Structures are given as structure tokens and as C-alpha cells.
């Protein structure tokens, strides 16, 4: 029986990397039925709605989406499609594994970087509660709840226990924000007490960023509130080659959205130069989520083989290939 999956191509290079990834998923031999829907600038142009009801109607049927990058105009009044999806679908876990791909040259290539980010995905400053206090004075409210903090901490520790991870570090600023980050930290401590076999640590967020740059190989699983998680996720992506490499997943109790976390790169859209690695690795997470672990492993190994050979890499990672050549190389390894 085919897996029904909502495909949201996105904007800019989104359709190119989405189509490439769909080809790779199909090449694993897993039966897939795609429901293609639009969101973002493309959807607004075609329907007048930045996030049409058709997206949620499809997700109500499939409970699963693969999403390309979606453009959000800066300071335009548009709500972020990503934030809107996460809040409306209660996708409370943002999950991002960060690993070095073989053969890829970065400043940290010689280090065995293999860490996982668990970012709370629905509240904090991203609650969007902003208002004007007085002329020229704006206020944004930070919201931290016990419910959300417990859920993200539990997700991180359960993953660590299931996958044989050794350490979980809670990242915070409770020395300054004693109530909000203090509550987050207390929840992490309470959950940690139920997993005595896992080493638990706490780091203030600024120190954590410094330590990640100095000793990234010493980190294992990190659990963070929303804003710090957003920043640290991109910081760690930079250690292994950038946002064009790392996958992302947004997980809830009834729905999951797997996405590339890089931008829509409108400057190269339509030129078939985009690197589909991030979305392909996100699709690998999606296949594992569906229980297709053999296919997920084969797709990951095929991507790694292309990087190890270094012949069919795209320009952003030092090669000269385009989207189609890279994708064909991945599929060749799958076959």
C-alpha cells in the first residue's frame, strides 16, 4: 500500500529540490502517493492566500508532509508559513540531526561531529505576542509553559534512550530569565531524573555557543527553548557545511512535516543549480518515520557515497554539478 504524503514544493529553488527529492524517494522502491499543494509566495500569487486551506485539507488526509523552502518577506506583516504550520498543527518538536558528510571539506572536517537538536517549536518569543507600548517603544512577550517544556524534554530523553545516545544538555538563560527559562530548566531536570542512565548537563546559551565552536565533537543531544534552538540549529549547521546540508523535521502527536531549513534562493531559481541534499536528508528522516528504515538507510548511504566520491557535487559544496546530475548520481547508488 502506498504512503500518502503531502508535497509542498515552496518558492524559489523549492520546486527543483522537491522534485529531485521525490525522484530519490521513489527510487528507493517505497510506494508513495504525492498530494502536491502550494504555500508561500507562489500560493499567494496564484490564490491570494499565503497559506491556503488546501494545505491543511491535504495534511488532514496524509498527516505527513515533505516541504521545500518557503519565502517570507521580511518586515512585511506576513506571518511565517513555517511558524504558522507548527503552531496550527501543534508540531512541538523541531528535530535536527547534525552530522559531517564524508568527503565534505569544512573547517571542522576532521572532527567526529554527530549531534542532535531538540528545539521546542510552538512558544517562547515565537508566540507572536507583540504590541506597541508607546511611540517608538515595542514589546514582545516570551511565553514558556510547563506543558511544552515537559514535552520537548521528554522527546529528547526518549530519543536518547532509544538511539543509544549518552548525553543530553539543556540550553538556557535562567541566570537572567529566572521565571521563564527557570521553568524550562526545572522541567528538564524533572524529566532527566527518569533517565538515570543518560548523562545530563546544563549550559547557559552564550557559553553553549562558544563551546559548540571550540569543541563541537563533545556534544550529543541538545534540548532548547524555541529562540535559542533556532539560533543554535543554524550555528551547528555551519559546522558541517551549512543549511544546504542538514535535514529538519517538525513532529507532533498527529502530524509531521519534514523540511529543508535553508532559504528559497530566488537568485538561482530555475537554473537547476540548487543542492537538494538538505531535503533529501529530510526525506530520509521521513522514511524512517514511516517505518521504512531499510529505504531510509539506503538513501542516506547513497547520499554519502556521492559526497565521498566528490564527482557529482553542486557548486555550493565545491563541485560543478547541477541539481539533476547530483540527483542522478544518488539514484545510481540506490540502484
The pairing of strands 93-99 and 114-120 is antiparallel
**Active-site annotation holds for 206:** yes
Check 19, 124, 230, 316 and give the catalytic one.
230
Angstrom distance (rounded) from CA 306 to CA 103? 9
Check 19, 50, 124, 126 and give the catalytic one.
126
Q: 103's torsion region: left (phi>0), alpha (psi -120 to 50) or beta?
A: left
**Active-site annotation holds for 173:** yes
**Active-site annotation holds for 228:** no
Check 53, 110, 206, 294 and give the catalytic one.
206
Angstrom distance (rounded) from CA 254 to CA 135? 43
Check 67, 151, 173, 316 and give the catalytic one.
173
Q: Half-sphere exposure of 291 toward its Cβ, with a 13 Å CA cutoff?
A: 3
14-27 and 323-334 are packed helices; what angle lies between their axes, rounded to 10 degrees? 10
The pairing of strands 167-172 and 221-224 is parallel
**Active-site annotation holds for 294:** no
Catalytic residues: 126, 173, 206, 230
Amino acid at each position: 500500500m502506498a504512503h500518502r504524503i503531502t508535497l509542498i514544493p515552496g518558492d524559489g529553488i523549492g520546486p527543483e529540490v522537491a522534485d529531485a527529492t521525490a525522484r530519490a524517494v521513489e527510487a528507493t522502491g517505497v510506494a508513495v502517493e504525492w498530494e502536491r499543494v502550494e504555500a508561500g509566495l507562489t500560493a499567494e500569487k496564484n490564490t491570494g492566500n499565503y497559506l491556503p486551506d488546501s494545505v491543511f485539507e491535504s495534511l488532514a488526509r496524509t498527516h505527513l508532509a515533505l516541504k521545500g523552502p518557503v519565502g517570507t518577506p521580511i518586515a512585511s506583516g506576513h506571518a511565517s508559513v513555517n511558524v504558522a504550520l507548527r503552531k496550527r498543527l501543534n508540531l512541538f518538536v523541531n528535530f535536527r540531526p547534525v552530522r559531517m558528510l564524508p568527503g565534505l571539506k569544512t573547517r571542522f572536517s576532521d572532527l567526529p561531529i554527530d549531534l542532535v537538536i531538540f528545539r521546542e517549536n510552538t512558544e517562547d518569543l515565537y508566540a507572536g505576542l507583540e504590541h506597541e507600548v508607546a511611540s517608538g517603544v515595542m514589546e514582545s512577550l516570551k511565553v514558556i509553559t510547563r506543558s511544552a517544556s515537559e514535552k520537548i524534554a521528554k522527546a529528547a530523553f526518549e530519543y536518547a534512550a532509544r538511539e543509544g545516545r549518552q548525553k543530553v544538555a539543556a540550553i538556557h538563560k535562567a541566570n537572567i530569565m529566572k521565571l521563564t527559562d527557570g521553568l524550562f530548566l526545572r522541567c528538564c531536570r524533572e524529566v532527566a531524573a527518569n533517565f538515570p542512565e543518560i548523562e545530563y548537563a546544563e549550559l547557559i546559551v552564550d557559553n553553549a555557543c562558544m563551546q559548540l565552536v571550540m569543541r563541537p565533537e563533545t556534544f550529543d543531544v541538545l534540548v532548547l527553548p524555541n529562540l535559542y534552538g533556532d539560533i543554535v540549529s543554524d550555528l551547528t549547521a555551519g559546522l558541517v557545511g551549512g543549511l544546504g546540508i542538514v535535514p529538519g523535521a517538525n513532529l507532533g502527536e498527529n502530524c509531521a512535516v519534514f523540511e529543508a531549513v535553508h532559504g528559497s534562493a530566488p537568485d538561482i531559481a530555475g537554473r537547476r543549480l540548487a543542492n537538494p541534499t538538505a531535503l533529501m536528508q529530510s526525506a530520509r528522516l521521513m522514511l524512517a518515520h514511516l517505518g521504512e528504515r531499510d529505504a531510509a538507510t539506503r538513501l542516506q548511504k547513497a547520499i554519502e557515497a556521492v559526497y565521498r566520491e566528490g564527482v557529482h557535487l553542486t557548486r555550493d559544496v565545491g563541485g560543478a554539478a547541477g541539481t539533476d546530475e547530483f540527483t542522478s548520481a544518488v539514484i545510481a547508488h540506490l540502484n
